[in-house]
Amino acid sequence: MKYGELTSESLEELNQIEKKQKLVKFQRRVQFLIYLESGEAQTQKEAGSGVGWKLRPARKIWPIYRERGLSGVVEKEARRGFGQLSSIELSRLNGYLREFRAQSLVEIQPYIRESFGVS
């Protein structure tokens, strides 16, 4: 596969974007694309090993890039909080527990299901 033809950014653009990244995680993702764009690496495995990854992380980045572009590769994932509840939902749950002194999961589950839509 000729990755250089499939990337929409030029090598210079990718180098500039890499320099702007503050987190090493995103620098490596852009470096991965640079290896593929420049032809230095012929496969995702080679590009991944160039940035210090094994095969699995390397294979995850290319589909993200193809689906969402460069912005999908360098944007932080939105995290909801701990588990399935956000920090706001957890604080509401703590208030409920203090107010009603629920002691078992059987007592808490209906409240979580009705209030947050989580089962």
Check whether residue 18 and residue 46 sit in a common domain. Answer: yes
Check whether residue 15 and residue 60 sit in a common domain. Answer: yes
Look at the chain and report how many structural domains it folds into: 2
Check whether residue 68 and residue 26 sit in a common domain. Answer: yes
Check whether residue 49 and residue 107 sit in a common domain. Answer: no
pLDDT of res. 82: 61
Q: What is the extent of the structural domain holding 91?
A: 81-116
pLDDT of res. 105: 82
Which residues, at least 6 apart from 24, have a Cβ–Cβ distance to it below 8 Å?
none
Helix (H) or strand (E) holding 27: helix 24-38
pLDDT of res. 112: 84
User: Of 30, 77, 72, 32, which is closest to residue 50 (Cα–Cα)?
Assistant: 32
Check whether residue 58 and residue 107 sit in a common domain. Answer: no
Number of other residues whose CB lies within 10 A of the CB of residue 102? 16
Check whether residue 68 and residue 85 sit in a common domain. Answer: no
pTM: 0.63
Check whether residue 46 and residue 66 sit in a common domain. Answer: yes
Check whether residue 46 and residue 95 sit in a common domain. Answer: no
pLDDT of res. 86: 78
Check whether residue 86 and residue 112 sit in a common domain. Answer: yes
pLDDT of res. 2: 79
pLDDT (tens, 9 = 90+) of the chain, 119 residues, equals 777 777 788 888 888 989 988 889 899 999 999 998 998 999 999 999 999 999 898 899 889 888 988 888 888 776 555 677 778 888 888 888 888 877 788 888 888 888 878 77
Check whether residue 93 and residue 67 sit in a common domain. Answer: no
Check whether residue 70 and residue 85 sit in a common domain. Answer: no
Check whether residue 69 and residue 104 sit in a common domain. Answer: no
pLDDT of res. 94: 86
Pair 11, 34: CB distance under 8 Å: yes
